[in-house]
Structure 1
Amino acid sequence: MTRPVALTLNVGSSSLKFGLFDIEGPPIELGFGIVENIGTALRLKFTCNGTTITRASSERGPADHRSAVSAAFALLHSQVPSAKVVAVGHRVVHGGPAYAAPRIVSDNLLDDLSRFAPFAPLHQPHNIAGIKAAMAEFPDALQVACFDTAFHRNHPKVNDLFALPRAYYERGVRRYGFHGLSYDYVAGELRRIAPQLHAGRVVMAHLGNGASMCAMEGGRSVASTMGFTALDGLPMGTRTGQIDPGIIFYLLREEGMALDEVIELFYSKSGLLGLSDLSHDMRVLEAAGTPEAEEAIDYFVFRIRRELGALAATLGGLDAVVFCGGIGENSRLVRERVCDGMGWIGIGIDPDRNAENATVISPDHSRIQVMVIPTSEELVIARAIKRFREAPNMPEAGGKPLGQAGPDPA
């Protein structure tokens, strides 16, 4: 007997993350996996029912994303043979200025997403390749695109502007913000856990290999540290974060670097990796104890604290700070250093609660609550799938972000 399930896909340049969900009722995750090293030595990992299956090959792995989707589905089928994929949801980094909610995939949508590729050149082409691969692999399945930028599309215009001639704004050169699926989920969890905080002024910090912060008021994004691309704002695992654009001119003119070399430097060789000359992984840096590793952590923390103050000013005050993402959820050290000395704004943490990774890590008497809420981009995508399956004629654009659209479908 077949079991209808939904598949979520998060496709990167050399990896593909996928989740399997039961969507007969409220979406429930059945398993989660990853295909790594696309085009080289293939490695697949899938966790289901508490059991993790790992497969590796010394031979050349899938040469393209369609092959990677096929490999992922073959692994799913071997572990969950009764599963029939009836819908696939896709994380798409850039939805441009138009898309403020998930959309059913169509040829017109794919054309639009291709036009947004210059806005996210290291992400968007792979997202599109994953969609096309899934459409070929599951031709009868509903395909839904969910955009990382959508959560931020209700910003006040002043927060989206750059001080460029206005014609560039009309051509799409504006601040977009990213990590929207993560913020969407965490905002929904905050509303469930602490509705009074959700209704107030909150700064969320999605800290991982990619890192950003978001100011929310009443659960809606009003400002983000990321801008036109996912390169801006905080330093990240291998990305620079905010940088003087004059450095680009200097590298091109004085250092004689080619444009592609500058792109690779900023996206792949900088951030924690570049500063530490060791690793992009915060766990490695915390354990290393070298001066360079410590300096990389210090800079990461410094920028978080600086952006926290700026976002609090944007909100006109602060009621809560929420950490999420791999570093935000797991690094006691980073959370401690970010909050240390922030009593002037009302922020403090309880060392024991922080050590336990408790949901609330601030002291009972603290004016501003500091929280840790694990994120789930995959569940946001699964909820979008559920909504479209229940109401296939629902509006395909506009509306509220999923995290603000009421309780999960029953």
Structure 2
Amino acid sequence: MAPTTLVLNAGSSSIKFALYRAGDDVSLALRYKGKLDHHAGDVHFRITDAAGRELTAPDAHGHADDPTSALLERLEPLLGDDDIVEVGHRVVHGGPDFVEPVQVDDAILRRLDALSPLAPLHQQIGLAAIRTIMRTRPALRQIACFDTAFHHDMPPVYRNFALPDLGADIRRYGFHGLSFAYIASRLDAHQRRTVVAHLGSGASVCALLDGRSINTSMSFTPLDGLMMATRSGAIDPALVLYLQRTREMCIEAVENLLYHRSGLLGVSGSSADMRTLIGERNAGARQAVAQFCARAAEHMASMMTALRGCDAIVFTGGIGENSPEIRASICDHLAWLGLRLDPVLNASGAGVITCDRSEIVARVIETNEELVIAREVRRLTQSRH
């Protein structure tokens, strides 16, 4: 019987998961990975083994309101003699205090819950999975791993707002840290100055110097920075005051506007899905795609100033990994820097998509937040033995 680590990466309508068998040291062997989608009362699984073979099995039903329980009931029969001994969770916001993985108990859960206003789209989703396991399998050890932790020691010039001291909690935190940590582990040694673009329904960029975060586009909350699927990204802060004063919009209405009705959806007026917008030819869709690419390139260029140059850029995330059209448009905005895209390599999704004469290397790397979480969980567990 071998101890097994379950990793849960919970989203609003899906849970990405992975099961790793732990070795005698900190080594990990992937057993299964996949995704659970839950929509309108239905739960659907996609599970593959370590070799990438898809498991064919009937979908689970009856747990759409409790997808974590549905997932556990589906996975446990696959383990044979192995046991799940610990669960690692992606938690989006760790605030100023949680800069390392932490074992979750009731007191920790209350502190994480208090951070929910800083990540209203994400925090409660991750905590809901923790609560379910606390209730249904209280003996399981649960470890929270934080998206903000990767950025906690950014230089003060990029960490701080241009505000008087309002307390240690008022700062630029940064997000997508688990994804950026994985990309950092995949970089070549000579790519010391790298800008990573994590482009998905949520999107941010990060300046990496020797694998460490120097600056990033998201700040106090995951609302700042790049234009996203339904989030506005960076706006003039006075716009919020204007909407409240002259349009008589309450706080809840402004929050709904900025988090749920903006970004690709707001600009296009039709869809928050980049794949749909690329296929459309109406003016709103074209404007949304063009604006997304322009803002992404703008923020990537600003990261290069923090690095005093750039050796490589990396595209990752659902859009970054899978959309050659978006990569081409962003690279076109950055061509003045000597970045030369190879159209054939880009269309094929090759690992390197620039030609030999490009002064900056552009790479495409599939992110793996689940592996980062599993490694952090095992590291914490081993440190206690």
Q: TM-score, normalised by structure 1?
A: 0.87
**Are the equivalent residues in 1 in contact too, given 2:101–2:380 (CA < 8 A)?**
no
Letter of the structure 2 residue corresponding to residue 112 of structure 1? R
Q: 1:195 aligns with which of 181, 186, 189?
A: 189
Contact 1:100-1:150 within 8 A present in 2 as well: yes
Conserved 8 A contact 1:36-1:43: yes
Superposed, which structure 2 residues align to 1:200-239 within 5 Å? 200-239=192-231
**SS of the residue 1:33 aligns to:** strand
> What's 1:374 paired with?
366
Q: Deviations over 1:200-219 (max 9, x none)?
A: 11110000111000001111
C-alpha contact 2:340 2:357 (8 A) present in aligned 1: no
Alignment of 1:5-404 (within 5 A): 5-24=4-23, 26-37=27-38, 40-49=40-49, 50-52=53-55, 53=57, 55=59, 57=61, 61-63=63-65, 67-166=66-165, 168=166, 170-190=167-187, 194-197=188-191, 200-392=192-384
Q: Which amino acid aligns with 1:195?
A: A
SS of equivalent residue, structure 1 residue 195: coil
CA offsets per residue over residues 195-250 of structure 1, 9 Å max, x none? 211xx111100001110000011110010000100000001111111111222222
Indicate how the Cα distance of structure 1 residues 54 and 356 shifts in structure 2: closer, same or farther if over 3 A, else same.
Answer: farther
> Matched residues in 2 for 1:305 and 1:354: separation?
17
Q: Compute the displacement of 1:341 (Å).
A: 4.8
Would you say the 8 A contact 1:9–1:17 is kept in 2?
yes
The offset of 1:54, in angstroms, is 5.9
Superimposed CA distance per residue, residues 111-160 of structure 1 (whole angstroms, 9 cap, x where no aligned partner): 32123222222322222222122223332222111000000011011211
- Whichever residue aligns with residue 174 of structure 1, its letter is R
Cα distance in 2, alignment partners of residues 88 and 178 from structure 1: 21
Which shows bigger deviation, 229-238 or 99-108?
A: 99-108
Contact map agreement 2:43 2:64 (CA 8 A) in 1: no
Contact 1:46 1:54 (8 Å CA) reproduced: no
Aligned length: 379
* Alignment CA distance shift 1:213-1:140 (3 Å): same
> In the aligned structure 1, how far is the partner of 2:341 from the partner of 2:235?
30
* 3-state secondary structure, aligned to 2:120: coil
Q: What is the SS of the residue equivalent to 2:302? A: helix
Provide closer, same or farther for how the CA distance between residues 31 and 315 of structure 1 changes in structure 2, counting only shifts above 3 A. Answer: same
Alignment RMSD, CA only? 2.0
- The alpha-carbon distance between structure 1 residues 315 and 24, as it changes in their structure 2 partners (threshold 3 A), is same
CA distance in 2, matches of 1:254, 1:185: 45
The one-letter code matched in structure 2 to 1:48 is: T
Q: Is the 8 A contact 2:60 2:70 kept in 1?
A: no
Contact conserved, 1:114 with 1:125, CA < 8 A, in 2?
Answer: yes
Aligned residue in 1 for 2:3: 4
Q: Could you tell me how far apart the structure 1 residues matched to 2:59 and 2:137 are?
A: 23
**1:4-45 residue CA offsets vs partner (Å, 9 max, x unmatched):** 32111122344333222222373233223334347x413221
- Could you tell me whether the CA contact under 8 Å between 2:195 and 2:313 is conserved in 1? yes
Q: Is the 8 A contact 1:93 1:123 kept in 2?
A: yes
Alpha-carbon distance between aligned partners in 2 of 1:188 and 1:129, rounded to the nearest angstrom? 30
Mapped partners of 2:99, 2:254: distance in 1: 32
User: SS state of the match for residue 32, structure 2?
Assistant: strand
**How far apart are residue 173 of structure 1 and its match?**
1.4
TM (normalized to structure 2)? Answer: 0.92
Which deviates more from structure 2 when the two are superposed, residues 226-235 or residues 273-282? 273-282
Q: Which moved more, 1:377-386 or 1:180-189?
A: 377-386
> Aligned-pair distance for 1:181?
0.2
Structure 2 gaps, min length 5: none
- C-alpha deviation, 1:89, in angstroms: 0.0
Distance 1:335 1:54, change over 3 A: farther
Provide the secondary structure at the position in 1 that maps to 2:130. helix
CA deviations 1:26-77 (Å, max 9, x no partner) are 3233223334347x413221312322546265x7x443xxx32211111113
One-letter code of the match for 2:59? R
Contact 1:90 1:146 in 2 (8 A): yes
In structure 2, what is the Cα distance between the partners aligned to 1:31 and 1:309?
Answer: 38
Q: How far apart, CA to CA, are the structure 1 residues paired with 2:19 and 2:325?
A: 33
Counterpart Cα distance in 1 of 2:334 and 2:74? 48
